[in-house]
Amino acid sequence: MKILITGGAGFIGSHLVEKLLKENCQVMVLDNLHTGLKENLPEGVSFIEMDVRDENILTVFAKEKFEAIVHLAGQTMVNVSVDDPKFDAAVNIQGTINVLEAARKTGVKRVVFASTAAAYGDAQELPIVETTTLSPLSFYGLSKVTVEHYLALYQEIFNLDYVVLRFANVYGERQGDGGEGGVISIFTKRIASGKSITIYGDGGQTRDFVYAGDIAAGIYCALQTDNVNTAYNLSTQTEVSVNAMVALFDEITGNHVVPLYERARKGDIYRSVLSNVKAITGLGWKPVMSLAEGLKRTYHSFNQQK
């Protein structure tokens, strides 16, 4: 299978490239390198430096004849979306439409789209199932929900199949400071450097932290499944508070971490944990990495890079 990964030089994308190469897929990466790094990619991977908003993307699609697209490229920071909604929409909505137009004009069979737990907002019933009303609290979440609606209409009108994957909070090696799981990356780097960490809110806010390698495996399942044109949560279905996550760093480092607490940020969800039952049954996927082991790998990976 010939697959294009937009945003493939980023954190999740680079884990996915490794997974797809192991599965003997033919892979090309398209990335503007705004946050991604070419050194994240294995040597020899086909790469084109381009923004998803670039109209020349159609030329790439026409030449390469991709069978499937994994669309990871996007603006991933809640605070940026609140500060600059126009930029967020330009990248996440208009950029995605640009990709979808190129896909449907060149015979692409399937688009796998990276959506988010932020699409749900502050849901009342936990764990959150895929049929929960989508009520995002930020423009970032709204942009992802908007694209989900575009995908449904592209399937209905143009017969372009899709799989939406609503990621929980992804973490792991090679993660930058941005994005929803970025708190782990930020904490890892600061703790390893002997610096203080800041928690926005009381630390009781919860997240469902899922390892990037597990996400890559889930995306591969989404490329293979016959159960298309629907959304799946990719999560551990385990609710972990930020304070509890910091306590795990105590165990990993052998040092007691004392956080600084500041006012909660606008647009941040307080509690979030996603059901993964549909992904287990519909995709044949299941996460395998524990948070303790995943944090340990992430921490040691950063220490090796220093």
Catalytic residues: 140
Structural contact between residues 88 and 80, judged by C-beta atoms closer than 8 angstroms? yes
**Do residues 274 and 207 lie in contact, with contact meaning Cβ atoms separated by under 8 Å?**
no
Q: Tell me the two tokens of residue 59.
A: 């030329």
Amino acid identity for residue 61 in this structure: F
What backbone phi and psi angles, to 5 degrees, belong to 149?
Answer: -70, -40
**In this structure, are residues 253 and 187 in contact, taking their beta carbons and an 8 Å threshold?**
no
Q: How far apart are CA 148 and CA 52, in angstroms?
A: 17
| 13 residue type, one letter | G
Residues 254 and 286 sit within 8 Å (Cβ to Cβ): no
SS (H, E, C) 124-192: CCCCECCCCCCCCCCHHHHHHHHHHHHHHHHHHHHCCEEEEEEECEEECCCCCCCCCCHHHHHHHHHHH
Angle of helix 95-105 versus helix 57-64 axis, rounded to 10: 30
d(C-alpha 271, C-alpha 254), whole Å: 28
CB proximity list for 9: less than 8 A, separation 6 or greater: 29, 31, 33, 36, 37, 38, 40, 41, 47
Distance, C-alpha 281 to centroid of its chain: 21
